[in-house]
Structure 1
Amino acid sequence: MDSLITAAALALAAGDPLGALKRVALRDDAPALALRGIAMARLGDFVRAKDLLRRAGRAFGPKEAVARARCVVAEAEIALVSRDLSFPKRALAAARATLDAHGDALNAAHAGYLEIRRLLLIGSLDEAERMLAGLDPSPLPPALRVGHELVVAGIAMRRLRTKPAREAIARAGDAARRTGIAALAAEVDSTARLLTTPAARLIARGSERSLLLEEVEALMGSKALVVDACRYVVRDVSTTIALTTRPVLFALARALGEAWPNDVSRGELIARAFRGKQADESHRARLRVEIGRLRRALRPLAELSATPDGFVLKPHGRREVAVLALPVDEEHAEVLAFLADGEAWSSSALSVALGASQRTVQRALDALAASGKVQSVGRARARRWITPPVPGFTTTLLLPALLPNG
């Protein structure tokens, strides 16, 4: 490796992409193309970066398997940052295996953390934790240690374990300071802010207030019966009843939870569950059927009793009822929560992350665009959706796909 390539690589390692480009900007050999691609990615030009890395991968000879694998890993990182969740997992896994086989443990570990970050982004916590358990962070240099600790913090926050999350963020901050790279320190600060930003709203006894993630954790560990409107479940500390696929039942449960300890009239329940339709005899008959279904579903946690005007929720034992809602009640709130990270998302990536059809996501985006809450850039397959951070939204910490097992 010649001196310019070495100098450019050192500049990139120190967080100086412009310094790297000054040394290799006019070169088209494979190592220079790879370094130029990484530098362009650091500067935010992902399209140019991907093109350069692909050219570099083709330019490396058949005996340079490690170099080609590193290009694949760099391209996967660009895909993750640019929210291209369609990047082939097999290619990344093959690159990681190649790097492992040739003794490049650090880049192999980096490839593993990229896959874990992708799993974390789409809410596959169990698989992310299994992969994380198979990685040894002890030999990692400070820059990679930052990534490791942020992954640990991300999983802990989504599991509602704020103390381990704070400890991991503190370790990430120490590692970021040792690197001297401002971008890493900014990423740590951004993650730390999630713990001081409202993550949800608590609605109980006719009033509501914002909750930090730590307070959500305390609520979930209390004796209260919680109607969780973030993840569409009704739960207490030991039992969780999922209503994710039963929206009418959940709408009834939420209405009853918000009114507790008072009852809710039949007319209001019909309006909440059946989207504002005027009550007639057919709706009253359907309400009786749905209340029966909800009564059976909630039997382990509560009873539903008829009153002269409607129905009332009666939890087993002497305990409170609380509704946990998103920080802002907004149609298509789940889509806005993903876009609130400030990155540009494609509809296909949102579809993967939300576990919904691309057509459903596109309809939501069109509705949000019509109301001026999101905007698109690019056309056709290059079209991306962006929005400024939405006031009141943290991130996707409490969305349905992130529901902890058990």
Structure 2
Amino acid sequence: RRAARGFGPKEAVARARCVVAEAEIALVSRDLGWPAKALDAARATLEKHGDRLNAAHAGHLKVRRLLLIGRLNEAEDVLAGLDPMPLPPASRAAHELAVAGIAMRRLKTKPARRALEWARHAARRAGIAGLIAEVDSAFLALDTPAARLIAGGEQRPLLLEEVEALLASSALVIDSFRYAARKQETMVSLATRPVLFALARTLAEAWPGDVSRAKLIAEAFGGRHADESHRARLRVEIGRLRAELRGLADIGATSQGFALLPRQAGEVMVLARPIEERHAAVLAFLADGESWASSALALALGTGQRSVQRALEQLGEAGKVQFFGHGRARRWMTPPVAGFTTTLLLPSPLPNG
């Protein structure tokens, strides 16, 4: 920043390059609050003066930031304006990594693999060890379990391409990543209805069997001992869930409780997070191995910074995360969760809670 101020008004290109360098440092350090408009202005200056290589680099930095905070549509728009053909190998690899990142978050694994093959070829031509390692890490994400499938009383890990196939199938899926019930193109969001989602998931895990009223009350309301008020509330919430799912499934009463009855023929499955944890979304971002500020996590998660700080404090007390630095310089990190990918399936923005 001081270097940029050292250049006069006639040295616009040099100042713009300093802004791009500052943005890259901020991105690597997960300081997502840096002014994006400054990077846009620097990119425009570089393009105006014919420095297309650094202008493209600025564009790729913007795409990477947008990916981190889950703005896929904006990232795609920026990427569409960048021509990868004239780029040198290192920049071409960065471009293809961005293409793959968007495709993976869109659950389009075949385009993601194609982009990563291009990225690997370009990275090897560039001969940059760090870039080659980044491509290898992206490939690993495709071949590492990204979720769990719960069905028929059993569960197993799912690769990203298996998640893609599941969501394209005729199954009714209770999606614990997006807090929704979905069947192919139809999705009913329950992100703001945690009680209804808890009921839907409990019923789905028991399908084709039923679930007792006592268990439903315990899962949805946290009540250990069901009384008449709990049972009355359960009837109300089941009615609300039945109304929400009317296009996908019905809920039938049984002698013991309730059962989920999908419309038409088809199975019922639960798409669950790799690890069930109250603050799983926070851990998922920290699992990339980088150090994060609480403000950056709040921006990426689409929630309040104080909520993120409370989550980090609780995770720290449990020994699941650690921090260094003080005040605004404090950063949080955790080792990657072995055997699982990180943020690929996280929705944007994430619901609170």
TM-score under structure 1 length normalisation: 0.84
- Tell me which amino acid in the other structure corresponds to 1:96: R
1:94 maps to 2:41: yes
Alignment CA distance shift 1:276-1:363 (3 Å): farther
Of the candidates 81, 90, 111, which is equivalent to residue 134 of structure 1? 81
For the Cα contact (< 8 Å) 1:198–1:393, is it kept in 2? yes
2:134 alignment counterpart: 187
- Tell me which amino acid in the other structure corresponds to 1:313: L
User: Which residues in structure 2 correspond to 1:203-214 (within 5 Å)?
Assistant: 203-214=150-161
User: Which residues in structure 2 correspond to 1:6-45 (within 5 Å)?
Assistant: none
Of the candidates 290, 293, 309, which is equivalent to residue 346 of structure 1? 293
User: Which residues in structure 2 correspond to 1:266-285 (within 5 Å)?
Assistant: 266-285=213-232
Aligned length: 350
1:268 is displaced (CA, Å) by: 0.9
Q: Aligned to 1:87, what secondary structure does the other structure show?
A: coil
For the Cα contact (< 8 Å) 1:158–1:402, is it kept in 2? no
2:26 alignment counterpart: 79
- Tell me which amino acid in the other structure corresponds to 2:317: A
1:55 is displaced (CA, Å) by: 2.1
1:393 is displaced (CA, Å) by: 3.3
Higher relative contact order (CA 8 A, sep 6+): 2
Q: Aligned to 2:64, what secondary structure does the other structure show?
A: helix
User: Which residues in structure 2 correspond to 1:2-401 (within 5 Å)?
Assistant: 54-401=1-348
Larger radius of gyration: 1
Q: Aligned to 1:227, what secondary structure does the other structure show?
A: strand
Which stretch shifts more, 175-184 or 236-245?
236-245
For the Cα contact (< 8 Å) 2:100–2:111, is it kept in 1? yes
1:331 is displaced (CA, Å) by: 2.0
Q: Aligned equivalents of 1:343 and 1:275: distance in 2?
A: 36
Unaligned runs of 5+ in 2: none
Deviations 1:89-148 (A, max 9, x none): 111111111111111111111111111111111111111112211221111111111111
**What's the C-alpha RMSD, in Å, of the aligned pairs?**
1.2
Q: Aligned equivalents of 1:249 and 1:196: distance in 2?
A: 33
Q: Aligned equivalents of 1:340 and 1:268: distance in 2?
A: 33
1:160 is displaced (CA, Å) by: 0.7
Which consecutive aligned stretches of 4+ in structure 1 deviate over 3 angstroms post-superposition? Answer: none
Deviations 1:8-37 (A, max 9, x none): xxxxxxxxxxxxxxxxxxxxxxxxxxxxxx
- Tell me which amino acid in the other structure corresponds to 2:234: L
- Tell me which amino acid in the other structure corresponds to 2:165: A
1:281 is displaced (CA, Å) by: 2.0
Q: Aligned to 2:348, what secondary structure does the other structure show?
A: helix
For the Cα contact (< 8 Å) 1:328–1:392, is it kept in 2? no
TM-score under structure 2 length normalisation: 0.97
For the Cα contact (< 8 Å) 1:199–1:393, is it kept in 2? yes
- Tell me which amino acid in the other structure corresponds to 1:256: L
Overall identity of the aligned pairs, in %: 70
Q: Aligned equivalents of 2:223 and 2:140: distance in 1?
A: 38
Q: Aligned equivalents of 2:213 and 2:66: distance in 1?
A: 43
- Tell me which amino acid in the other structure corresponds to 1:397: L
Q: Aligned equivalents of 2:191 and 2:346: distance in 1?
A: 11
For the Cα contact (< 8 Å) 2:302–2:349, is it kept in 1? no
Deviations 1:144-181 (A, max 9, x none): 11111001101111111111101100100000000111
Q: Aligned equivalents of 2:293 and 2:36: distance in 1?
A: 18
